[in-house]
């Protein structure tokens, strides 16, 4: 979770363990393709891209790619909406201009945007979801396990309801905090698992 006046979350991904890996082939093309290289290059600065929940209940994400034509804003918005359990129309994805700190996390080509941002986007949205549920838990006085987040609204067992916008400030953090989490299950796809923590910072 990032330090900010409203809820802002980002992803920091660790490399997967290679303890049990088999000896690689001597042919590097059997190990790495262009997408693999570009995705690995984007990892170190994946924590610089963030999901922001505003007081009006909208969710914003600035995608570090100056790229159009492949529907990346739509697919990214769908990922966030699914992971955060908010209506798709509440998610606003914009394309950012290039900025030095992002380094290789803004390189375009090879249809790599979705491959390289898929996990960081989901992690940041999952951190936001977890933090919103914790804020609702404190407000309702109910355990998180008894709460449900659906369509941008959190409800408890007695039927009390709170929109996520009403919790955007309460769920925020005054300092950067690492948060362990689990991503929601994807029934129809197989995705490599990455150990991840969320972090937070003020707006640029």
CA atoms within 13 A on the CB side of 148: 8
Pairing of strands 148-150, 153-155: antiparallel
Phi/psi of residue 199, nearest 5 degrees = -145, 170
Q: At 76, which helix (H) or strand (E)? A: helix 72-84
- 3-state secondary structure (DSSP) of residue 194: coil
- Report the pLDDT value the prediction gives residue 45, as an integer from 0 to 100: 67
pLDDT in tens, 23-57: 555 554 555 666 677 777 777 666 777 889 999 99
pTM: 0.73
- In eight-state DSSP terms, residue 146 is G
| Torsion sign, CA atoms 169, 175, 181, 183 | positive
Instruction: Kindly tell me the burial class for residue 4, based on how many C-beta atoms sit within 10 Å of its own C-beta (0-12, 13-18, 19 or more).
Output: buried
pLDDT at position 12, please? 64
Query: Of 203, 183, 202, 200, which is closest to residue 84 (Cα–Cα)?
Result: 183
Residue with more model confidence, 77 or 18: 77
What is the residue-averaged pLDDT of the chain?
A: 76
Task: Give me the pLDDT at residue 148, please.
Answer: 94
Q: What is residue 194's predicted lDDT score, i.e. its pLDDT?
A: 41
| Percent of the chain with pLDDT strictly greater than 70 | 67
Flag whether pLDDT at 142 surpasses 50.
yes
Q: Can you give the pLDDT at residue 50? A: 81
| Cα(39)–Cα(60) distance, integer angstroms | 23
193 pLDDT band (50/70/90 cuts)? Answer: very low
Domains and their CATH numbers in the chain: 7-125+169-199 (3.30.365)
CA distances for 28 relative to 24, 31, 80, angstroms:
9, 5, 34
Q: What mean pLDDT do residues 171-179 have?
A: 82
Distance, CA of 57 to CA of 72 (rounded, Å): 22
Q: Is the pLDDT of residue 88 over 70?
A: yes
């Amino acid at each position: 979770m990032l330090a900010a006046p409203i809820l802002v979350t980002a992803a920091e991904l660790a490399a997967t363990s290679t303890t049990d890996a088999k000896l690689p082939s001597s042919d590097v093309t059997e190990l790495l393709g262009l997408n693999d290289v570009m995705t690995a290059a984007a990892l170190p600065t994946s924590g610089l891209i963030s999901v922001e929940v505003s007081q009006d209940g909208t969710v914003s994400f600035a995608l570090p790619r100056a790229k159009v034509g492949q529907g990346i804003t739509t697919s990214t918005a769908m990922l966030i909406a699914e992971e955060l359990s908010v209506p798709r129309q509440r998610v606003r994805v914009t394309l950012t201009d290039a900025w030095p700190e992002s380094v290789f996390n803004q390189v375009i080509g090879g249809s790599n945007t979705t491959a390289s941002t898929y996990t960081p986007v989901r992690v940041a949205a999952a951190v936001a979801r977890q933090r919103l549920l914790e804020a609702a838990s404190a407000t309702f006085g109910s355990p998180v396990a008894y709460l449900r987040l659906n369509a941008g609204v959190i409800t408890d067992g007695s039927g009390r309801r709170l929109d996520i916008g009403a919790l955007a400030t309460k769920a925020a953090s005054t300092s950067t905090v690492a948060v362990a989490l689990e991503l929601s299950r994807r029934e129809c796809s197989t995705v490599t698992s990455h150990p991840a923590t969320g972090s937070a910072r003020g707006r640029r």
